[in-house]
Homo-oligomer: A and B are copies of this chain.
Amino acid sequence: MTAAPSTLADIPGLIRVENTSPEQLAAHCAEMTREAYPHQQVYGRYCTIEEYVDCPPAQVYDYLRQGHHLEEWTCSLRGFAPAQTPGLWVGRDLLEENTSIYCKVVASPDAMTVDYHCAWDQGEQLWMIYLMRVVPAQLVLDKPGSLITWTNCRHPYYEANPYPDRAPRPGRRWVGEYWDLFYAGHTLEMRNLKAILEHRHGSGRPVSVLPSTAVTQ
């Protein structure tokens, strides 16, 4: 027999109208609200950015779920081709010389989530995960187009390369050294993504392109 769920009275620390008046709640919230927040507090452990794009959600989702488009909107990921494992692609991260990046796309059409499961140097453990989602802007912003959200989490491997023997050379800079620049870097990349989608959609063209590997085959 399973124990019954605990009642809320058993759980310490809850802040609810039953123990905190609306006025106390507002005062507490006002105290937590600041003019500004330190970088580490906002982007230290998680890095989320949001962007509105004037392009229909179905097209944005379709563009994102095709991983080879990373070659267009990211600053430095290029040359993706299928790896040996089905669904796995391998390309290069031109931020660092001779650095491979492996990537698998996990997308859900229902919620329009698109997750890029990536790693430098090896494809067995894909721990760098870009969580993205497309939301109809009509619902959340009362206008046509799409909202894109993008979250990264500071996986412990950012602190230390778990597979140092797979690096192309000793002393190659590790991806985790860039963590503190992710807010800025992802903002640049999100702007690329917005510019590409809006340019193509705005000129009545299809937003997706064929993979370069398909074109050259």
Question: Taking beta carbons and an 8 Å cutoff, which residues of A are in contact with B?
Answer: 2-6, 8, 10-17, 20, 22, 25-26, 28-39, 42, 45-46, 48, 50, 72, 74-76, 78, 94-96, 108, 110-111, 113, 117, 127, 129, 131, 133, 135, 139-142, 147, 149, 151, 153-157, 178, 180-181, 183-185, 187-188, 191-192, 195-196, 199-200, 203-209
Contacts and interface: CB of A to CB of B under 8 A. Distances in A.
B39 A35 contact: yes
* Interface core residue of A140, A187, A205, A206 (most chain B CB under 10 Å): A140
Given A139-B129, A204-B3, A11 B110 contact: no
Contacts of A22: 76, 94-96
Contacts of A192: 14-16
Contacts of A25: 75-76, 95, 185, 188
Contacts of A147: 46, 153
A37 B35 contact: no
Contacts of A154: 141
Given A15-B192, A156-B142, A199-B10, A181 B37 contact: no
Nearest to A32: B184
A204 to B, nearest CB: 6
Nearest to A181: B29
A34 B30 CA distance: 24
A188 B30 CA distance: 12
Contacts of A10: 199
A50 B113 CA distance: 17
A181 B111 contact: no
A133 B20 CA distance: 28
Nearest to A189: B15
B142 A131 contact: no
Contacts of A206: 2-5
A5 B50 contact: no
A30 B183 CA distance: 10
A184 B142 contact: no
A200 B154 CA distance: 27
